Amino acid sequence: MSSLFSLRPSTAAQHHRLSLSPPPPPSRLPLRPHKPVLRSRHRVKILALDAAQPFDYEARISDRLHKSTKLKIAVIGFGNFGQFLAKTLIRQGHTVLAHSRSDYSDAAANLGAAFFSDADDLCEEHPEVILLCTSIISTEKVLRSLPLQRLKRSTLFVDVLSVKEFPKSLFMQILPMDFDILCTHPMFGPESGKNGWSGLTFVYDKVRIGDEESRVLRCQRFLDIFAKEGCRMVEMSCAEHDRYAAGSQFITHTMGRVLEKLRLESTPVNTKGYETLLNLVENTASDSFDLYYGLFMYNKNAMEQLERLDLAFESLKKELFGHLHDVLRKQLFGKAEGLEVLEERPVLSKLPPNGAPLLPPPDSVGVQNS
Ligand code: NAP
């Protein structure tokens, strides 16, 4: 009832501050002039704490604004990367529900997300977006285990897998036609994105988004989460992503893991280049082996990159040993004339460009004269 006496319908906080005693009765009512008007401070008192009323204009507007910009997102796979993303989703005001093979109730509560150990319970909450953050190699199993019939018919499915053709084809095979599909790859992780996402690349492919305005907007609102953080938004097909990523991301992870095996240590005389290598190890070593294995197994371009790496290393070693051989021969035989050429060593001067056959054509093989 206090709103009858408040100065204007507003939020509960304002009612609290502004509610006064009832205003004086209208002048046509008989007043009792003999009684002095009390001006004591006691007349200002709180009558009640009221909830927002249905006519509370500001509350309704803000509620409508919230609903039009915020999403209810179910994160499936609440491990390293799932939690990393959830932090930002929650900070931006989205509602996050989480589900995972392991029990992450405490971690979810700390972040402000609701954890559901049962996928049926989660789906009955009717999230607008299902965000798949499972390991690449477990994705098919997890997707097939979801009770899709409990979701709303037009749910948006998004994945963040580091390979893209594989989840796209899984989604197309498994999800009913009513569901929308957005394949994405935030090309950063808990380590590289720990100080914010500004300038970091976010790749996406709108694989299947219905024409209805609400569906188009929902997809846009999801993408806006990353755009708002300052990500460099790159729209490209899943196939294109996998081609580029094999030559960049897979090579990066492979080199990081090779260097990790060398157990590099910081020294008192680190160069900038060496510091870069140490950072590379730090960036890649914190990712799970499942992730790296997924990059290899589920990107058809990865095997070619591994072979190129092998070939490049071999060719470099041959180049080095070739020079060493020259020096040794000169020392052994001096400048003696008429020496027979002992052997001709083929050296691959340059690898063929990405995508070209790896066997060197005859004219790309240089002959190192001894
Ligand atoms: P990950 O090892 O690739 O995946 C861990 C997640 O997969 C956990 O949620 C884990 O659940 C779940 N999982 C693993 N095996 C499972 C199984 N057999 N059944 C059910 N769930 C299983 O590490 P991640 O770094 O968190 O990556 C998650 C996804 O994000 C991957 O697809 C990755 O490619 C992508 N991604 C990662 C990064 C990054 O920098 N880390 C960057 C971009 C994209 P439990 O924890 O409950 O066991």
Model confidence pLDDT, tens digit, residues 50-80: 565 656 777 776 666 666 789 999 999 999 9
Structure tokens at 183: 């394949």
Picking from 25, 162, 9, 24, the residue whose alpha carbon sits closest to that of residue 81 is 162
Q: Using CA atoms, how far apart are residues 148 and 154, in angstroms rounded to an integer? A: 11
List ligand 1's pocket residues with C-beta within 6 A: 77-82, 100-102, 133-136, 138, 141-142, 160-162, 186, 189, 287-288, 290-291, 294
In the chain, domain spans:
68-236, 249-313
Task: Report which protein residue has its CA nearest ligand 1's atom 12.
Answer: 134
CATH topology of domain 68-236: Rossmann fold (3.40.50)
**Lowest pLDDT segment from 157-166, 180-189, 278-287:** 278-287
Write the DSSP string, 271-305: -HHHHHHHHHHHHHHTS-HHHHHHHHHT-TTHHHH
- How does pLDDT run across 105-118, given as a tens digit for each residue? 999 999 999 999 99
Does the structure show a pLDDT above 80 at 343?
A: no
Task: Report which protein residue has its CA nearest ligand 1's atom 38.
Answer: 189
Alpha helix ranges (H) inside 146-236: 165-174, 213-228
Q: Which residue has the higher pLDDT, 327 or 177?
A: 177
- Is there a contact between 34 and 75 (Cβ–Cβ < 8 Å)? no
Task: Report which protein residue has its CA nearest ligand 1's atom 21.
Answer: 101
284 C-beta neighbours (distance < 10 Å), count = 23
Picking from 293, 266, 166, 152, the residue whose alpha carbon sits closest to that of residue 210 is 152
- 260 CA from centroid of ligand 1 (Å): 21
Greatest extent of the chain over all pairs of C-alpha atoms, in Å: 138
For ligand 1, what atom is nearest to the CA of residue 163? 34
- 81 CA from centroid of ligand 1 (Å): 7
Could you tell me how far CA 322 lies from the centroid of its own chain?
46
Pocket test for ligand 1, best of 133, 203, 226, 253 (most atoms within 8 A of CB): 133
Q: What share of the chain is helix, strand, coil (3-state, %, to 5)?
A: 45, 15, 40
Q: Using CA atoms, how far apart are residues 163 and 68, in angstroms rounded to an integer? A: 31
Q: Tell me the whole-structure pTM to 2 decimals.
A: 0.77
Pocket test for ligand 1, best of 75, 88, 101 (most atoms within 8 A of CB): 101
- Is there a contact between 233 and 204 (Cβ–Cβ < 8 Å)? yes
